[in-house]
Amino acid sequence: MRLDRFIESKLAVSAQSVRELFLQRQVLLNGIAVSEGRGRISEFCRVEVAGRILQSREAVYIMLHKPQGCVSATKDAKNKTVIDLLDFPQKENLHLAGRLDFNTTGLLLLTNDGKWSRKITQPTHKIPKTYLVQTKEVITEDYVRVFAEGIYFGFEDLTTLPAELTILSPYSARLTIYEGRYHQVKRMFGFFNNEVVGLHRLSMGKIILDTNLAAGEYRLLTAEEIDSIK
């Protein structure tokens, strides 16, 4: 939204009155006086007019090492949620940038910035997500070829984007996918009737799970990590 229109609607005053406020240097955008309001502001810009704060909402970006046995949701009637793990003011305003299953561990991103999280979750952005996978049956070289070609998912009527599989041992592999369909990794291994018995997300784009974080711990993202998605 334009800054001048935002002030008009917040203060319920005319466009002319708002122009005057700008001329009197009464409008501070992120702490700096601005002389005109045609520029656009986001929901996270701080806007102060004549000493009155009209908007001051900080964007929050968190990396959590999700443990097993908790739900990737903000509320759940039965189970502990990832939000319950946070000791953070206004944690109720956060949402998840890509879920993990109940027993999947690893990197989970939480934010109150919807524009940012959509870049991670929308398949059109093709953000790579890398997982460590442990399976019940042996993983063979066939998987590498089939995952690279894509697998047809009948429910969604689509073929998964080419994915990269590196076999680490007979029962474990590293997999990078470029979208985040429902239970995608389990369904890809399910194509070979191979059950996933352990799943851990290592990274999303350039954001890598901090090895200093034990399961259940979290930290704020650095500016560099945030910008790597923007």
Q: Is 76 an active-site residue?
A: no
Q: Which residue among 4, 101, 157, 210 is the active-site one?
A: 101
- Pick from 18, 22, 21, 52: nearest CA to 34: 22
Closest approach, Cβ 186 to ligand URA, in A, equals 4
Closest approach, Cβ 43 to ligand URA, in A, equals 29
| Helix, strand, coil percent values for the chain (each to nearest 5) | 25, 30, 45
Q: How many CB atoms lie within 10 A of CB 30?
A: 12
Q: Confirm if 164 and 139 have CB atoms less than 8 A apart.
A: no
Please list every residue from 178 through 217 that binds ligand URA, using CB under 6 A.
183-186, 199
- Give the range of 4-12, 74-82, 96-104, 115-123 binding ligand URA by CB under 6 A: 96-104
Closest approach, Cβ 108 to ligand URA, in A, equals 10
Q: Which of 76, 101, 164, 210 binds ligand URA (CB under 6 A)?
A: 101
**Burial grade of 61 (CB within 10 A; 0-12, 13-18, 19 or more):** buried
- Which chain residues interact with ligand URA by CB under 6 A? 100-101, 104, 183-186, 199
Q: Could you list the active site residues?
A: 101
